[in-house]
Structure 1
Amino acid sequence: MSGFVRKYMKGDTAIWWIIIILSIASLLSVYSATGFLAYKMQGGNTSYYLFKQFVSLGVGIGIIILMLNVKLNWVAGLSALALYVSVGLLLITLVMGVNLNEASRWLTIPGIGITFQPSEMAKLTLIVYVANILSRYQKDDEPAREAFWPVLIHVGLVAGLIFTENLSTALLIVAVSAAMMFVGRVPFKYLFATGFVIIGLVALVLVFANHVDFLPRAKTWSSRVEQFFNPELAGPASTYQADQSKIAIASGGFFGKGPGNSVQRNFLPHPYSDFIYAIIAEEYGMFGALIIMFCYVLLLARVGVLVSSSKRTFPAFMAFGLGLMLASQAFINMGVAVGVFPVTGQPLPLVSLGTTSVLFTCVAFGLILSVSRHNMEQKELETQTNTETATINPEA
């Protein structure tokens, strides 16, 4: 077993512990949050969704091991093809997408009937592609002006296709890509002007939501923002999700009610995905909730170490983008649960129930660990070379 771990489960040990902790938290929380739903929908089989999540995580661990052993030059070379496949799937989803939770975000695979979210694939492939483009335009002591338009066009294409059904994911993609461009030395004035335009357009959509007929979900976005800033005017029915989430968190205290003892899981819509952090806080208290939050903070910190120790720009940009995407998505999910952000529908990475989210999150973790493995191998090679040089030239 130890030989298998050393041979295949390479990379940053702290990131592996993050994966293990989040996976355990996922299984415990999903089982607790879906017990009644499984009993009702699956003929009394209360462990149905637990087993489904267990399989997803098991396959996901296999994907992580596979991805961390893939050569980074292959990842860079295939990034454009993967991105264009994702764009094609997004276009198909707009035409033939399955309507779930009032949004056509899902695509059914013909023949096997499995549904998945192309947006999860698109945001991951876009980050890898942006990292590849930025790395090509890096020059000593010069800003990467030439990288701005290639990146902006592809970010605009992907975010535009996702925007019609999922505003929060589209904005998250834009924000992470902008951060990558900033780190990649794209002139700040370009980013500032683009951000100003995007914020203005989103504000116009929200203000005139009742008149934007080509965006059917605009009214939903506008009402969520209005409910967030003016809850007293929205009424209890409109703030039901946020209120139940706050009750769950407040009733958990410091150590929680214990595994499986959640009460608010019977009242919260989607306690196994959008509001799973509230269930964690209720059952494991502030102590458990802080551990989960610390995992994502630690992930961001370890990614920072990987970036600073990378000798090549592509691995550094890719690790930074993927780590920032995962951490930002987690903070948004947790922020929604505690009432810091409006309801967005973002899952908690590797914790929320959902095969698509789990698998593509594991791809992201695998690529981050691949950068870690690459850095370790480079360091070992440099150490070996220095040792050999010192042996040959002892006076050097």
Structure 2
Amino acid sequence: MKPLSRTDKSSYAQWWRNIDHVTLTCVGILMGLGYILMLAASPAVAHRIGASRNMFIFKQVVFLLLAGIVLLTTSRLSPRNIKKLAIIGSIIALGATFMTLVHGMEIKGARRWIALPLMSVQPSEFLKPFFAVITGWLLSLRNTVQLRNGFKFPGRLVAFFIFLVIAALLQAQPDIGMLSVVTVVFAAQLFIDGLPIIFFVALVASMLGAFGIAFLKFNHVRSRVERFLHPDVGDHYQIDTSLRAFGNGGLLGRGPGEGHVKDLLPDAHADFIYAVAGEEYGLLLCLFIVCVFTVIVVRTLLRLTRSKDPFIILSTSGLITGFGLQAFINMGSTLHLIPTKGMTLPLISYGGSSAISIALALGMVLALTRHRVEPGLFSPQPTTTAVSSISLRLGSSTPRGH
């Protein structure tokens, strides 16, 4: 491909020069690992359920291609268009999430999916990125919009109301894991926005209280916590098999296609794909995956230190918090560091809704963290004030009579 000229002012050239190439490369690496690990994990799962050997592979290829298109398209949007996308997307995602309670597919006692001709969609996956942007926008309005009576725009109050609506829908499905991620994202954005510490402590206490209620109300939550706290009680087949896979893999792994965990776990291609990576490719690949996720999160936060726009800081912080937290929950539960939770490993696990929603979130992160030149000495068009100042200086230096 012909290299871009420094004088090329096309929209593509400006996008390429201003995008974060390190984060974009890391996203490409995760997608590549998703293809490789799907080749390793999915054929055995497909055979076990009586499906075509390559069914999951072909579908994931399509999902990741769509995810790549979504990411690249979204990364070219302006902050103004990101807001518009978040508003429209939030309305659609909220409506679709509500529809799951009425016409959704029930799987393992939860209604989270809507059946479509070629795939099932989990609308709540798309609530995470859209809610983070909406919250960032509302919180930024609190400091920039003044009402007629002199009061600030109640951005925190409006954001909290939207959060309660989302929490009620997720609790009704129920999807406590997704609710936990959305809650942590909201709390992180409030903390960055400067919520007084006493209110932040009260918010954290409320979160702990809500978790206690979930522990008492939902049997699957109580079962997972009790099995985590008491390893000698209850069914530990999945987590024991996962840990045994990491032990079998050792430092360099058993080799591609030589692992056995994919033959034993029903969700080896989804929630436990990190165990497949550990058994077949070893500790080194697992550490490499952790490093890639870490680079994306840290790199994004470092780029935010250069921004002065509250909307960009708050929205991007929420988006990257949700992304990093989801990766931690998947890898942590697979390694038995936290109670098990059915949550995908971003861009690596099988799943269309997860891949596209993560691509949407990272696309908005790349769009919001693009380098933007501030008006200054080398602006292509000087401001009216600058032109007037230059004219006055030239006029004052011209000798009289000339």
* Alpha-carbon distance in structure 1 between the residues aligned to 2:380 and 2:92: 44
Identify if the C-alpha distance between structure 1 residues 6 and 256 changes in structure 2 by more than 3 Å, giving closer, same or farther.
farther
Match of 2:330 among 329, 333, 349: 333
Task: Note the C-alpha offset of 1:88.
Answer: 1.5
Q: Are the aligned partners of 1:159 and 1:170 in contact in 2 as well (CA < 8 Å)?
A: yes
Match of 2:211 among 190, 197, 202: 202
Deviates more, 1:198-207 or 1:258-267: 198-207
* Alpha-carbon distance in structure 2 between the residues aligned to 1:32 and 1:131: 40
SS in 1 for 2:305: helix
Match of 1:344 among 330, 338, 341: 341
Match of 2:263 among 256, 263, 266: 266
1:86-165 equivalences under 5 Å are: 86-109=93-116, 112=117, 114-138=119-143, 146-164=154-172, 165=174
Task: Note the C-alpha offset of 1:301.
Answer: 0.7
Which residue identity is paired with 1:161? L
Match of 1:37 among 29, 36, 45: 45
More helix by share: 1
Deviates more, 1:93-102 or 1:176-185: 93-102
Q: Are the aligned partners of 1:278 and 1:337 in contact in 2 as well (CA < 8 Å)?
A: yes
Identify if the C-alpha distance between structure 1 residues 60 and 113 changes in structure 2 by more than 3 Å, giving closer, same or farther.
closer
* Alpha-carbon distance in structure 2 between the residues aligned to 1:174 and 1:40: 37
Q: Are the aligned partners of 1:63 and 1:363 in contact in 2 as well (CA < 8 Å)?
A: yes
Aligned to 1:363: 360
Which residue identity is paired with 2:121? F
Identify if the C-alpha distance between structure 1 residues 145 and 178 changes in structure 2 by more than 3 Å, giving closer, same or farther.
farther
Task: Note the C-alpha offset of 1:7.
Answer: 6.2
Task: Note the C-alpha offset of 1:2.
Answer: 5.0
Match of 2:73 among 61, 66, 70: 66
Aligned to 2:199: 190
Aligned to 2:58: 51
Q: Are the aligned partners of 2:170 and 2:178 in contact in 1 as well (CA < 8 Å)?
A: yes
Q: Are the aligned partners of 1:28 and 1:259 in contact in 2 as well (CA < 8 Å)?
A: no
Which residue identity is paired with 1:27? Y
Which residue identity is paired with 2:139? L
* Alpha-carbon distance in structure 2 between the residues aligned to 1:58 and 1:8: 20
- Tell which structure's C-alpha radius of gyration is larger: 2
Identical columns (%): 25
Q: Are the aligned partners of 1:145 and 1:186 in contact in 2 as well (CA < 8 Å)?
A: no
* Alpha-carbon distance in structure 2 between the residues aligned to 1:33 and 1:68: 31
1:169 to 2:175 alignment: no
1:384 to 2:378 alignment: yes
Aligned to 2:232: 232
Q: Are the aligned partners of 1:306 and 1:319 in contact in 2 as well (CA < 8 Å)?
A: no
What TM-score, normalized by structure 1, do the two folds share?
0.87
Identify if the C-alpha distance between structure 1 residues 68 and 3 changes in structure 2 by more than 3 Å, giving closer, same or farther.
farther
Match of 2:304 among 296, 303, 307: 307
Query: Any gaps of 5 or more consecutive residues in structure 1?
Result: 210-217
Q: Are the aligned partners of 1:60 and 1:358 in contact in 2 as well (CA < 8 Å)?
A: yes
Q: Are the aligned partners of 2:45 and 2:263 in contact in 1 as well (CA < 8 Å)?
A: no
Identify if the C-alpha distance between structure 1 residues 263 and 70 changes in structure 2 by more than 3 Å, giving closer, same or farther.
same
Aligned to 2:399: none
Task: Note the C-alpha offset of 1:139.
Answer: 6.3
Q: Are the aligned partners of 2:64 and 2:355 in contact in 1 as well (CA < 8 Å)?
A: yes
Which residue identity is paired with 1:38? A
Identify if the C-alpha distance between structure 1 residues 362 and 383 changes in structure 2 by more than 3 Å, giving closer, same or farther.
farther
Aligned residues: 374
Q: Are the aligned partners of 2:227 and 2:236 in contact in 1 as well (CA < 8 Å)?
A: yes
1:295 to 2:292 alignment: yes
* Alpha-carbon distance in structure 1 between the residues aligned to 2:203 and 2:102: 29
What TM-score, normalized by structure 2, do the two folds share?
0.86
1:279 to 2:286 alignment: no
